[in-house]
Structure 1
Amino acid sequence: MRSIPLIDAEAAERYAAWFKALADPTRVRLLHLLAVEGRPMAVGEIVERASVGQSTVSHHLKILAEVRFVLAERQGTSTRYEVNRTCLAVFPAAVRAILGEDSAGQGADRGH
């Protein structure tokens, strides 16, 4: 049996925040919407497409932005949101690290 180092505390905190951000079906739906649109979208546009209230959408986008799953860009008086494909591409490495399959992956997501 090979010895696999434990995930360090910093990586564990980061991974937990990612999983927590995805623990709500509305946030998963919003990420999916932004991913399939493939372009920055204003909150009003997202509200129309997702059939969710504006304050709810804004709340969930804030949580997704905190873990950098979405990127916010100010354009005049509005903010446009887009999925952060780079960040989401690193997410599977977190799962591999938790499973002990990729102990080198702990540092791979630091730039995200």
Structure 2
Amino acid sequence: MNTPDGGGAPLSPEDSALCAGWFKALADPMRVRLLNLLATERRPMAVGEIVERLPIGQSTVSHHLKVLAGVRFVVPERVGTSSRYQVNSTCLECFPAAVRAIMGQS
């Protein structure tokens, strides 16, 4: 995402769509909790571990992880026949800049 450097510069259609996708992914409180869990654990976690820590079932966790992976907030890592998920630190570092860009701040 190209953030405006002149303060108040309009977002491109592509950057607007990217930001909208991020906010849509975060529009569900359980996805926010799931992302927070992964961020505070600071390590890859299996779906089963996540299910043990959140009050939702495996299929729901898997759905939420798919949404978060779709906007690159989380990254899956294949380990044998299962996957572990971790926060994509690069993407999350960009998020505050995206918020500033939306607000017209440099």
Report the TM-score, using the length of structure 2 for normalisation: 0.90
Maintained 8 Å contact 2:68/2:74: yes
Distance 1:23 1:83 in 2: 17
What is the Cα deviation at residue 3 of structure 1?
Answer: 7.9
Q: How does 1:76-95 map to 2 (within 5 A)?
A: 76-95=80-99
Which of these residues, 26, 51, 74, is aligned with residue 70 of structure 1?
74
Secondary structure of residue in 2 paired with 1:93: helix
Q: Root-mean-square deviation (CA), in Å?
A: 1.4
Looking at structure 2, the residues matched to 87 and 3 of structure 1 have their Cα atoms a distance apart, in angstroms, of 22
Q: Separation in 2 of the partners of 1:66 and 1:42?
A: 18
User: Is it true that 1:29 corresponds to 2:21 in the alignment?
Assistant: no
Structure 2 gaps of 5+ residues are 1-5
Aligned match for 2:102, one of 77, 98, 104: 98
User: Using CA pairs below 8 Å that are at least 6 residues apart, which structure has the higher relative contact order?
Assistant: 2
**Percent identity between the two aligned chains:** 66
- Structure 1 unaligned runs (5+)? 103-112
- Poorly superposed stretches of 4+, deviation over 4 Å: none
Partner of 1:109: none
SS of residue in 2 equivalent to 1:5: coil
Q: Deviations over 1:15-53 (max 9, x none)?
A: 000000111000000001111111100001100111210
Counterpart-to-counterpart distance in 1, 2:31 and 2:12 = 27
Question: In the alignment, what sits opposite 1:12?
Answer: 16
